[in-house]
Amino acid sequence: MHAILRATDVELFYGSQRALCGVDFTLGAGEVCAITGSSGSGKSSLLYCLAGVLAPTRGEILLDGVPLHSLDDDELSTVRRERFGFVFQYGELLPELTVEENAALPLRLAGRRKTKALEVAGEVLGRLGLAELRQRRTSQISGGQSQRVAVARALVHRPDVIFADEPTGALDSANAEAVLEEFLTLARSQGTAVVMVTHDASVAARADSQYMMADGSLARRAAV
């Protein structure tokens, strides 16, 4: 399997606080990976580094063999916008936009025409059970519905890698299953890779690979 993302010996400090140490990680194209670990163990920090949002203090992150730190700000923004999709814990939707406008945002930023972008967003929203809410402003939907809109927005432009921090945290089991199915379908059909942080053991068990984060160190868990 072609390695799309590779981290070698990554360390991250926030001031004097060490959040990551000696992290090695490889993600194959089309691989769905789950990272678990206790609160404060460094899971979100790792996602931020892998996604080029934070620069590691030591070590490097390679995307298709190219070190993220070799890209200038514009190139990094383009990578994040076009090749990555994000469902972050505090990833806010824009309250003045409707559900479908929020979900269509990555396509609009990529220059797609509004009608086409809304049509594609509508299909994804439908698969996530949100068809009825398309025209609703996101200030008028529930937390779990917002989370699914954020998932739709992360995958609408068919990115190469989706980074998801607790993407099913606010969802009941049926909706968590719908989100996971979307990830797995994209991975199998488009070769999209997914790195997701989750506390949900049943979600993690469905991933292709599982890792455990403890005190800034990452360890692969054997398949059961």
Shortest distance, position 82 Cβ to ligand ATP, whole Å: 26
Nearer to ligand ATP, 108 or 199 (CB): 199
Shortest distance, position 205 Cβ to ligand ATP, whole Å: 19
Count residues contacting ligand ATP (CB under 6 A)?
A: 11
Mind giving me the DSSP string for 8-42? EEEEEEETTEEEEEEEEEEEETT-EEEEEE-TTSS
Decide if residue 43 touches ligand ATP (CB under 6 A). yes
Shortest distance, position 138 Cβ to ligand ATP, whole Å: 23
Report d(CA 23, CA 218) in Å as an integer: 6
Site for ligand ATP in 1-40 (CB under 6 A): 14, 17, 19, 37, 39-40
| Ramachandran bin of 182, using left for φ above 0, alpha for ψ from -120 to 50, beta for the remaining angles | alpha
SS (H, E, C) 103-151: HHHHHHHCCCCHHHHHHHHHHHHHHCCCHHHCCCEHHHCCHHHHHHHHH
Decide if residue 126 touches ligand ATP (CB under 6 A). no
Decide if residue 42 touches ligand ATP (CB under 6 A). yes
Structural contact between residues 91 and 168, judged by C-beta atoms closer than 8 angstroms: no
Shortest distance, position 16 Cβ to ligand ATP, whole Å: 9
From the number of C-beta atoms within 10 Å of its C-beta (0-12, 13-18, 19+), residue 54 rates as: middle
- For strands 32-37 and 66-67, give the pairing: unpaired
Shortest distance, position 109 Cβ to ligand ATP, whole Å: 27
Shortest distance, position 68 Cβ to ligand ATP, whole Å: 18
Nearer to ligand ATP, 5 or 35 (CB): 35
Nearer to ligand ATP, 19 or 141 (CB): 19
Nearer to ligand ATP, 19 or 154 (CB): 19
Q: Count other Cβ atoms within 10 Å, centred on residue 4.
A: 21
Strand arrangement of the beta sheet that strand 217-221 belongs to:
84-87, 161-165, 193-197, 32-37, 209-214, 217-221
Nearer to ligand ATP, 45 or 138 (CB): 45
Nearer to ligand ATP, 45 or 98 (CB): 45
Among 44, 102, 138, 175, binds ligand ATP (CB under 6 A): 44
Residues that bind ligand ATP (CB under 6 A): 14, 17, 19, 37, 39-45
